[in-house]
Amino acid sequence: MDFVPVLVLLATVKKVVDFVAFVRDRNFQPVVTQILAWAAGVALVALAAHTSWADGIVWGDIALARMGFASQVLAGIALGSTASLAHDAVSGTPILGGGSSRSAQVR
């Protein structure tokens, strides 16, 4: 079993939960940052799908060149989420525990 897609989906779930927590707390800087990460991921996946090497990029067992629009959007959101989570890890942002500033203040 290939665990990479599972880990990417877990990263996406984590970033969606963080996003909702930030919106709830009206902390809009990370909300805008996450929207930009997702938009960049979708744009890059859509662009890469139209390159000559798109047949060599495989998600699961489907080449990027053969993915439909919805699959490209989901792959882009997953890419943006994974990049965002990796940035959090490198920058020292707490990865586990609530993503909200309010939850950080309670601790």
Question: What is the model's pLDDT at position 103?
Answer: 46
Residue with the two structure tokens 């390159």:
51
Question: What is the model's pLDDT at position 97?
Answer: 55
Which run of H or E residues covers position 33? helix 28-48
Nearest to 49 by CA among 36, 38, 61, 63: 63
Q: pLDDT digit string (tens) for 34-69?
A: 999 999 999 999 999 999 999 999 887 899 999 999
Report if pTM > 0.95: no
Question: What is the model's pLDDT at position 6?
Answer: 83
Residues in the chain: 107
